[in-house]
Amino acid sequence: MKSLRRDLSSNPQAQNVTSKIFVRSTKSGKVQKIVRELYLRQDIPCSSKLCSVCPSVAPADANGNITPFVLSEQPAGTKAFPRGHYLVPDTNALLNGMDLFEHTGAFYDVIILQTVLEELRNQSLPLYNRLLSLIKTDEKRFYLFFNEFRLETHVRRGPDESINDRNDRAVRAVAKWYMGHLLSTAKKSKKERSIPAIVVITDDKENLRKSKEENITALSLTDYVSGLEDSDRLLDMINESREAREAKGARGELFYPEYYTMSKLQTGLRAGTLHQGVFNVSPYNYLEGSVNVPAFDKPLLILGRDNSNRAISGDVVVIEVLPKDQWKTPSTKLVDEEAVTKNDNPDAEDNEAVVTERERKALQEEVKKAHGKNSEGRPQPTAKVVGVMKRNWRQYVGHVDSSSAGSQTSSSRRQQNVFVLPMDKRVPKIRLRTRQAADLMGQRILVTIDAWDRDSRYPTGHFIRSLGELETKGAETEALLLEYDVQYKPFPKAVLDCLPAEGHDWRVPASKDDIGWKGRRDLRDLLICSIDPPGCQDIDDALHARPLPNGNFEVGVHIADVSHFVKPNNAMDLEASQRGTTVYLVDKRIDMLPHLLGTDLCSLKPYVERYAFSVLWEMTPNAEVVSADFTKSVIRSREAFSYEKAQKRIDDPKQTDELTESMRTLLRFSKILRQKRMDAGALNLASPEVRIEADNDEVGDPLADVKTKAMLETNSLVEEFMLHANITVATKIYSTFSQTAMLRRHATPPPQNFEELINQLTKKRDLRLDVSSSRALADSLDRCVDAQNPFFNTLVRILATRCMTSAEYFVAGAHAESEFRHYGLASPIYTHFTSPIRRYADLLVHRQLASAIGYEGEDGRAVVEGVMTRNRLEDICRNINYRHRNAQFAGRASIEYYVGQALKARGEKMAADGVDGGIEEEGYVMRVFENGVVVFVPRFGIEGVVRLEDFVLPKDAALRTVAERRELVVRRQSDFDSEEYTLRVSDKGDADQAHGVSVELFQKVNVNVSSVKEEGGRGAGKRRVRILILGQGA
């Protein structure tokens, strides 16, 4: 019998084969030993442009391309390295300083080792992904060097060597090899003067020592950054958590309970004793969070800092339900973090308790309430956080709390702790160590959270960059975009390369034999027009109607044919699917597609020929659909109307041309369609929206730009036909793609969402809200009217809308057909087809529809373009749902900011004239708390909190400044009736009824709206819209 052992000596190749052996444990607890082969080689290039050898041996890939060399010939240097340097960071350096490496001011020519990348991936997936995208960009010159596969730099782990020591040794081996390699191979002429130094960056003391022994230049991250220009700013960007942990380890004062171990959490989850869900913080009370879990139909309350145990809004947490005697009703009080903890000192950790006295008081009052008169009420289950499955920390925009910085700030560069107040009220303050506190004051800054340890009351974070001064347009806009994760960077070159080469000169081919006409219908002779908001550049849709010889009408909806220009899976398509939607801010539009397409080539501009995707119906004069047809087409829009212009033209009896007549037909049909929809139970919902007309003149009243959205007949004309087209298309694509059709649904809201509102309406107005079906809800909403208060109905609609779930995109296979329903529109199936320029979902639907009708396209591939796997579509749906939601939030926040600025401008103008600032308006009480109310002001579409001190009582009507009013706080008392939703505010000890103010839910009140800046004290320098209640509305 022969020996079967590998005989490696005879095979010359085999000497370069080694193996990597590691042990891993699976989820189920099994231990696996993995053996992988490693083929060591010598053709892995050093990627330095200095090298004369590597370019000749660098191997090509399957397409014959050689990866271009990355590292510069003349890398940047510092004082210590005048000839420039290549950096070789180890894993810890990247863990602590990823923001530094991403910084555009420093850190060029970096060699990332395979060893380091792999270790980083095990430690932190987000950082790994950020590093990968750094490597992919060209400008930072990061090179991924696969050192483990290079014969010279491969390191075998010694018998007693820890894995960390081995990896450190690998880093040193690479540094050594690079030095020798560059010395011997650098191009002769330059050899003498300009061989860059190889600098290892490591924070490991042992590694630093050994490097010194081996004559390798090694620096700690801090030391290296100190040698750079602008070091103060860069030093702040180093992750704090590690250092801090080491420094404080000995003190060992722990404020928070420890999390359960992972195995305990998992056992608990499986057994049903623990629950998992997303932690949400109430916008009115930062101490109250809630978690929705499947086991309970109402969200579980999490009260107080020790129960929420370091969870931050958005984290996926594991919770344990508290015993029944600790169940409470949700808070009836407004609690603002800034107010309660304004005196906390960022430096003093010693005498901190988790729950300060003030916080305890704030909570205790609620306990009283729960056991007091309201005891027959419905205490809700409460819970505490016992573990965090996934942190959803992102980068937060905020500003430095000026009161938290020491007084000696102005001159010294001493490192100190300051608090950053995030813009998002639900996020706690973040402790920041910085040397540049003075510079950061009054700036919008971007920070990130590094850690939240048991021994720290607040999370610690580090500074990333400054966006600019507070309240400047640029800084605030960027802050908004960052806060809502909108991708606003200009389109990269790869995307722009996908645009048609002709640019703005692109035309529909003149000859019908051209390939572009293949499968397209010529609809250029139809009288098509578009109706959009004024100033609209990206015209998605156009319409026409014409009588047919048989007495019926042909009605057409024509949508920009974006899918002709955006082919699947190219860079532009991927970018668009990332962005998901165009984001509209007051003064800015962040496009989903490059400008050229969105506002020119795809846009259905008047008087020019454009490609379109048309839906054509034959309708009877009663708007009954006889047949529907879909086709790619070429159209020429006759006119682009604004809503007002279209309305005027329709209303003008003198206009009798064909185009106007067709618009009248459309309007007539749209009214019938709308009525049908309403009869089917569609909801007429309201959202508190205002529109800003940005073309303001400097002289006029800045507030004149703020307009509530007017609803013209023509608005609903367009809307009805778009809805109708969407529904028709949804049916068509679902019949072809029963598993992968891209649809949109609006789930029926669970009745318990409406409980609170039903209760309020019954108590205050004796109105009944029937939520058994959308039809019943629509009818009962119609009945919610108050003769004295015409806005009441809208108010109820706004509140009802908030009780509902939001609509979402989904893939047909993900839900049963009965779940496809769009609740709000009362349609059994729905999708988005009509705005492909600004929504990615519509683009996908276009491809699916093209495929469904057998359109082949220029290259005959359009049929397959619509076909996608369900998994991929589900990923896309998840992303666009998220982007869609964020885009809405960003738009609203932008309007809110603009209203604030307009109020400020007005205030300043008035102040100059010697008149008191603020404008008097009507407001409506939306919520009543124990120590304040939430008021909605329809004129500006804003809602704001009114605290006790902001109730203007007859006695103190003259006091208007912030400081004066603040002094009133201590004297105020309130009488709150949570059953009746009323709040009575009066001065302490003053029993006279006439001196108090009493407000109740849904009440109309007169308010004074102004923009004020906080002077001194908490949140100094922060501007907010202040609402004063002047008295009951007439």
Partner 1 sequence: MPLDTSTTYPLTKLRLDGRRWNELRLLQAQISTNPASSGSSYLAMGNTAIICSVHGPAEGRRGDASGGSAGSSGAVVEVDVNVAGFAGVDRKRRAGGSDKQSSRIGTILRSAFQSHLHTYLYPHSTISIHVSVLSADGSLLAAAVNACTLALVDAGIPMPGLLCACTAGMSGSASTPRDPTNDFLDPLLDLSLPEEQELPFLTVGTTTTVPVGEAAMIHDDEDEMKVSMLTMDSKVHCSYVETMLAVGIDGCKQIREILEGVIKKSARR
> What is the contact surface with partner 1 in residues (CB under 8 A)?
1-2, 4, 6-7, 11, 13-14, 17, 19, 22, 30, 32-41, 44, 59, 61-63, 67, 114, 117-118, 121-122, 132, 135-136, 144, 146, 148-149, 498, 567-571, 861, 864-865, 868-869
Residue 854 main-chain phi, psi, to 5 deg:
75, 25
Q: Which is nearer to partner 1, 9 or 550 (CB)?
A: 9
* Partner residues linked to 316 by β-bridges: 278, 390
Tell which residue, 664, 642, 451, has the closest CA to residue 534. Answer: 642
Smaller CB separation from partner 1, 40 or 678: 40
Residue 43 or 689: which CB sits closer to partner 1? Answer: 43
- Please report how close the Cβ of residue 125 comes to partner 1 at its closest, in angstroms: 9
Instruction: Identify the burial level of 963 via C-beta atoms within 10 angstroms of its C-beta, where 0-12 means exposed, 13-18 middle and 19 or more buried.
Output: exposed
Torsion sign, CA atoms 449, 453, 456, 457: positive
CB 861 within 8 A of CB 850: no
- The residue (of 84 and 89) whose beta carbon lies closer to partner 1 is 89
Closer residue to partner 1 in complex, CB, 117/197: 117
Name the residue with tokens 């809800």. 777
- 98 three-state secondary structure: helix
Token pair of 754 as six digits = 């409406």
Which residue, 395 or 570, is less far from partner 1 as judged by CB? 570
CB of 230 to partner 1, least distance (A): 30
* Three-state secondary structure call for residue 835: coil
Structure-token pair, residue 373: 């008169």
Nearer to partner 1, 66 or 626 (CB): 66
Least distance between partner 1 and beta carbon 146 (Å) = 5
**Based on CB atoms, which residue is closest to partner 1, 117 or 1007?**
117
Residue 5: φ, ψ to 5°: -65, 150
Rounded to the nearest whole angstrom, what is the least distance from the CB of residue 859 to partner 1 in the complex?
Answer: 10
Helix axes 571-579, 840-852, angle to 10 degrees: 120
Instruction: Name the residue nearer to partner 1 (CB basis): 33 or 504.
Output: 33
Minimum Å gap between C-beta 501 and partner 1 is 12
Nearer of residues 527 and 843 to partner 1, judged by Cβ: 843
CB of 9 to partner 1, least distance (A): 12
CB of 47 to partner 1, least distance (A): 10
Least CB distance to partner 1 at residue 137 (A): 12
**DSSP H or E segment with residue 207:** helix 205-213
125 burial via Cβ count (<10 Å: 0-12, 13-18, 19+): exposed
Give the three-class secondary structure for 547. strand
| Min dist. Cβ of residue 10 to partner 1 (A) | 9
Least distance (Å) from partner 1 to the CB of residue 601? Answer: 18
In eight-state DSSP terms, residue 53 is S
Please say which residue, 29 or 323, places its beta carbon nearer to partner 1. 29
- Nearest approach in angstroms of CB 131 to partner 1 is 11
Helix, strand, coil % in the chain, rounded to nearest 5:
35, 25, 40
Q: How far is the CB of 493 from partner 1 (least distance, A)?
A: 12
Question: For 224, phi and psi rounded to 5 degrees?
Answer: -65, -45
CB of 825 to partner 1, least distance (A): 33
Per-residue CA distances from 52 to 49, 73, 197, 861 (Å): 8, 12, 17, 46
- Do 99 and 113 form a contact (C-beta atoms < 8 A)? no
d(CA 851, CA 865): 7
- In the bound state with partner 1, the residue whose beta carbon lies nearer, of 20 and 209, is 20
DSSP bridge partners of 629: 616
CA distances in angstroms from 460 to 79, 133, 252, 286, listed in the order given: 32, 26, 17, 18
β-pair type (583-584, 808-811): unpaired
Cβ-based nearer residue to partner 1, 143 or 452: 143
Q: Which is nearer to partner 1, 38 or 694 (CB)?
A: 38
DSSP class of 324: G
Residue 816 CA to residue 807 CA, distance in Å, equals 16
Q: Give me the half-sphere count of Cα atoms (radius 13 Å) on the Cβ side of residue 3.
A: 4
Residue type present at position 283: P
Strands 197-201 and 85-89: parallel
Among candidate residues 47, 59, 127, 126, the one with its CA nearest the CA of residue 88: 47
Of 148 and 236, the one with the shorter C-beta distance to partner 1 is 148
Q: 505: number of CA atoms within 13 Å, CB side?
A: 2
Q: How far is the CB of 643 from partner 1 (least distance, A)?
A: 41
Nearer to partner 1, 216 or 868 (CB): 868
Distance between CA atoms of 591 and 55, rounded to whole angstroms?
41
Nearest to residue 644, comparing CAs of 720, 539, 714, 717? Answer: 714
Q: How far apart are CA 435 and CA 414, in angstroms?
A: 5
Beta bridge partners of 420: 400, 430
CA-based nearest residue to 574, from 656, 495, 646: 495
DSSP state of 601: I
Question: What is the closest distance, in whole angstroms, from the C-beta atom of residue 833 to partner 1 in the complex?
Answer: 23
Q: How far is the CB of 67 from partner 1 (least distance, A)?
A: 6
Give the nearest distance from C-beta 497 to partner 1 in angstroms.
8
Query: Is 313 or 563 the residue whose CB approaches partner 1 more closely?
Result: 563
